[in-house]
Amino acid sequence: MPAYAVIGGQWGDEGKGKIIDVLARDAAVVARYSGGNNAGHTVMNQYGTFKFHLVPCGMCWPETMNIIGNGVVVDPDVLLEEIRLAEEAHLPGRLAVSDRAHLIMPYHITMDRLQESARGKNAIGTTGRGIGPAYVDKVNRTGVRVGELLDLEDLLIRLPELVDAKDTVFTKVHGADPVDREGLFEKVRIWAAGLGPFIQPVEDIAGRALDNGENVVLEGAQGALLDIDHGTYPYVTSSNSTVGGTMTGLGIGPRRFGGVAGVFKAYCTRVGAGPFPTELSGELGETIRQKAGEFGTTTGRPRRCGWFDAVAGRYSVRVNDFDTMIITRLDILDGFETINVCVAYELDGERIERFPIDSAVLERCKPIYEEIPGWEGTTAGLTDPDQLPADARRYVEHLERLLGIPASIISTGPTRDETIIIRQLM
């Protein structure tokens, strides 16, 4: 059996965690390939409720190996805490961290915050977790890789030079304090002791599982529209959250793929700055936010809420080659008399159906909506497609038509059971 990628189709927070937890039952390996602890994946099952930021969401299945791939940036403090929580809850999954993933150092977190405040009104609204600066160092070839923790002596010789460079920028450019060197060296020793047993080359783990005919689930983080190349730049994250990132971020090839699923909320949300054509800034947006609890898993920030954007959705299908969609949070639309779906934009007086990827242009786009009837009754907790109210089914069919791909799973609540499987993915 093949590798199956599960990728956010919008601006993140599509509810991928729950979906991965459901799919992991049939997977030998679940692997994160991009991002870091800017992600917050919520999983609810018999073990409890978990908000994983780094640890993959297959941790709750006994047969599953969970991999943090080389494309991920790892804050060891966060990872060690998640490992502790997983052990405390007796989660049965196993964990391996790529020796070539890059470390988020405390100076990356400081840099993220200094840069954001220097941007003023042009701030990106990052999660403040040091993600961008860690990727900058990776690309600049001044990063520290997780595997270096296995050779502490060498790392402690190399670190002062890296810290000197940060100190220059902190003190001379930002007028901030220099790095706390002793604190950093102490942390590095703790990280090496705690993470050592989990560090290894991981390509072989995924590759061998695939050779053996087992399933590998590739756990997307953030969403396609936050991708560094394909997203609404510069209001994006610093990694490839789209399907391309799975190959570079894990070390598997395209012939291994069985499919690529796009996870879409039944409406849309966005956290941080950047264009969002279907945003509902008034009472309706607030109603959705409160009903759905749309507050960031990582930062607690209120998420911006809006109607489903099929123009952006089609673009996501294009850049990921999604073959199916997974619809989440359908139950949040229960009780709406009518529901809007954005089918095109008006740009400078003209109707367009393509997604303008230039943020300044997208900012000028106004949504053109189709109003469709809501449904009576509830979809919350449903498990069978035949139980769906007729108008809810029509809404799903409408999204399928607009995006040109069939839906395979509909999530109707936060727990594993509250799931409609239309067609098995793997």
Instruction: Please give the residue ranges that form the binding site for ligand IMP (CB under 6 A).
Output: 12-13, 38-40, 124-127, 129, 131-132, 221-222, 226, 235, 237-238, 271-272
Residue 401 CA, chain-centre distance (Å), reads 25
Minimal distance, residue 44 CB to ligand IMP, in Å: 18
66 vs 238, which CB is nearer to ligand IMP?
Answer: 238
Taking a C-beta distance cutoff of 8 angstroms, is the pair 125, 271 a contact?
yes
H helix intervals, 38-180: 76-88, 106-119, 131-139, 152-168
Q: How far is the CB of 193 from ligand IMP (least distance, A)?
A: 28
CB of 229 to ligand IMP, least distance (A): 14
CA pair distance 48, 42, nearest whole angstrom: 10
**What stretch of H or E contains 189?**
helix 181-195
CB atoms within 10 A of CB 303: 22
C-beta of 39 vs 79, nearer to ligand IMP: 39
Residue nearest to ligand IMP (CB): 272
Active site residue 41: yes
Q: Which is nearer to ligand IMP, 215 or 298 (CB)?
A: 298
We find the least distance from the C-beta atom of residue 303 to ligand IMP, in angstroms, to be 8
**Closest distance of CB 327 from ligand IMP, Å:** 18
Amino acid at 229: D
Element (H, E) at 269: strand 268-270
Cβ distance to ligand IMP smaller for residue 3 or 221 = 221
Distance, CA of 272 to CA of 186 (rounded, Å): 33
Point out which residues pair with 6 in neighbouring strands.
219, 261
- Rounded to a whole number of angstroms, the minimum distance from the CB of residue 101 to ligand IMP is 16
State the helix-helix crossing angle for 152-168 and 181-195, rounded to 10 degrees.
140
Question: How far apart (Å, rounded) are the C-alpha atoms in residues 388 and 397?
Answer: 12
Identity of the residue, 147 or 262, whose beta carbon is nearer to ligand IMP in the bound complex: 262
Question: The sheet that has 324-328: what strands, in order across it?
Answer: 199-200, 94-98, 65-68, 29-32, 216-219, 3-8, 257-265, 324-328, 407-411, 419-421
Report, in Å, the least distance between residue 170 CB and ligand IMP. Answer: 19
Which listed residue (21, 41, 227, 331) is catalytic? 41
* Min dist. Cβ of residue 41 to ligand IMP (A): 8
CA 125/CA 116 separation, integer angstroms? 7
Query: Is the Cβ of residue 45 or residue 359 nearer to ligand IMP in the bound state?
Result: 359
DSSP structure string for 285-345: HHHHHHHHT-B-TTT-PBPEEE-EEHHHHHHHHHHHT-SEEEEE-GGGGTT-SEEEEEEEE
Cβ–Cβ under 8 Å, residues 354 and 317: no
The span from the CA of 11 to the CA of 21, in Å, is 20
Nearer to ligand IMP, 224 or 342 (CB): 224
Q: Which helix (H) or strand (E) holds 18?
A: helix 16-23
Please say if 13 is a catalytic residue. yes
Angle at 239 between CA 233 and CA 242, to 5 degrees: 85
185 burial type by CB count under 10 A (0-12 exposed, 13-18 middle, 19+ buried) = middle
Choose between 40 and 262: whose C-beta lies nearer to ligand IMP.
Answer: 40
Give the catalytic positions in this structure: 13, 41
